[in-house]
Structure 1
Amino acid sequence: MSCSGMETVDELELVVERLMDAPVAAVWKAYTDHLNDWFCPPPWRAEVQVMELRAGGRALVTMYGPDGEVVPNDGVYLEVIPERKIVFTDAFQAGWKPAGPFMVGIFEFEPQGDKTLYRGRARHWTKDALEQHKTMGFEAGWGKVAEQWEAVAKRLA
């Protein structure tokens, strides 16, 4: 159970990688059925509003902060390969309505026996967006989320 932290794969991509101590089926189920339990680092919480887990399907997760913050994450899935890969973006909302893009997110799952090598990638349109994401705490935030995700998957395994 290690977290390699942040790497800059190219100039507009941030990556978090973690070997999760749970089989890929449990990691997948934690995403599809238990996302509210791990999506935000505390004291924030998340609530799935819409999860149409297919290419072109809508993704809407609202995050709630400790001081009354409400942050909707509205977007679409671009690619879904069960138990292997989820690609999503905030560049579009439902019905392919263009939105102010921040990133394309990619979750990759690679079976490693009874464990799962997870990679979370955030690809940005601009260097400014990448720097903003770093400043927002990408490494710590996505690392904590991966840790929480793993804990839920272990419970489900």
Structure 2
Amino acid sequence: MIAHVRIEPLTVAAFAPYGDVLEAVGAPDRIINEGSCERFHDRARLDFGPDGRAGLSVFHAMPRSLPLTLELVERHPEGSQAFVPMSADPFLVIVAMDEKGRPVNVRAFRTAPGQGINILRNTWHGVLTPLAGPGRFTVIDRVGATPNLEEYRLAAPLVIRD
């Protein structure tokens, strides 16, 4: 029997154990540029470890459709990974807690227009999953000499659906 995971809306509270929601909502922290810009300050717990530095890349991922079969998750033990979409299209964020080196309690979130995410260091997550084209993202993550990717193939696939 295949297990199913229902997609949830992405909220700050629901996503907090896995990372940060990047969005400009509520009151700004500061008004800058002679009053013409609202600054929503320090919205992500970026972490690049003691031997890494921040790198900024652009990813272009192929759109996926639902339901989605999930067979593989990954994590980055040396640093966080932030995804800022370059369009207003929603994307799917799949995360899981860790239990003795295994992903457990998989959850799936759908972003709203204007939301990005920062996945905390060592958090299990699915691959980049845009739900529409063009699937372009600015990604801020760790650049360093040591490996920063661990993959885990699930014993049984999960189906992610609305």
User: Under a length normalisation based on structure 1, what TM-score does the superposition of the two structures give?
Assistant: 0.27
**Greater RCO (CA < 8 Å, at least 6 residues apart):** 2
Which structure is larger by alpha-carbon Rg, 1 or 2?
2
User: Under a length normalisation based on structure 2, what TM-score does the superposition of the two structures give?
Assistant: 0.27
